[in-house]
């Protein structure tokens, strides 16, 4: 990760992953791999499939990571066209991520996680808060 600070906000867990955490679900692991939870019929590793998952939850692509009142935002990551990670914005403008089997962390921006493991930020999506 980059040299921007982050803090660990939970212990490790095998029960849920980054997508689940971004979607507010800590009871399931979301993955296109057979047997795992995937809310669309397009079970694909391509990042478009992940965009479709969040579009199905009323998210739309937007062009800013800034905190906007009334909106929840997520950042989708990809590497070589395949989805790798999702992080979710917090009410304080920071972002939260579940790191695979490891813990949740809070980080200052989506760019903190850009690198060899997660690749780059593919897009930001937002939906109106209920």
Partner 1 sequence: MVTKQRIETTLPFKYESVPEVLVIGNKTVIVAGTTYYRIDASATEEYVPPFLLTLITPITPITHTTPTIGDTREIWGSGCIDLYSTVKVSYREPVRVEEPAYTTVESEFYDLAQQWKQERPCGADVSEIAMHPSYQRIIGMGPDVVPFLLKELEREPEHWFWALNSITGVDPVPPESQGKLKEMAKAWVEWGKKQGYRW
Rounded Cα gap, residues 30 and 68, in angstroms: 27
Q: Which of 107, 127, 80 is nearest to 18 (CA)?
A: 107
Binder of partner 1 out of 68, 102, 108, 127 (CB under 8 A)? 102
Binder of partner 1 out of 4, 5, 12, 42 (CB under 8 A)? 12
Sites for partner 1 among residues 29-48 (CB under 8 A): 29-38, 45
70 is a site residue for partner 1 (CB under 8 A): no
> Phi and psi for 20 in degrees, rounded to 5?
-60, -45
14 is a site residue for partner 1 (CB under 8 A): yes
Binder of partner 1 out of 85, 107, 122, 126 (CB under 8 A)? 85
124 is a site residue for partner 1 (CB under 8 A): no
Degrees to nearest 5, angle at CA 31 with 39 and 97? 100
């Amino acid at each position: 990760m980059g040299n921007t600070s982050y803090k660990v906000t939970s212990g490790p867990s095998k029960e849920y992953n980054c997508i689940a955490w971004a979607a507010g679900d800590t009871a399931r692991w979301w993955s296109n791999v057979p047997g795992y939870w995937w809310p669309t019929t397009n079970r694909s590793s391509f990042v478009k499939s992940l965009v479709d998952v969040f579009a199905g939850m009323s998210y739309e692509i937007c062009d800013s990571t800034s905190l906007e009142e009334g909106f929840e935002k997520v950042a989708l990551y990809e590497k070589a066209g395949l989805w790798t990670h999702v992080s979710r914005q917090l009410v304080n403008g920071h972002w939260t991520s579940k790191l695979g089997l490891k813990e949740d962390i809070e980080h200052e921006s989506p760019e903190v996680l850009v690198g060899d493991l997660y690749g780059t930020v593919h897009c930001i999506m937002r939906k109106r808060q209920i």
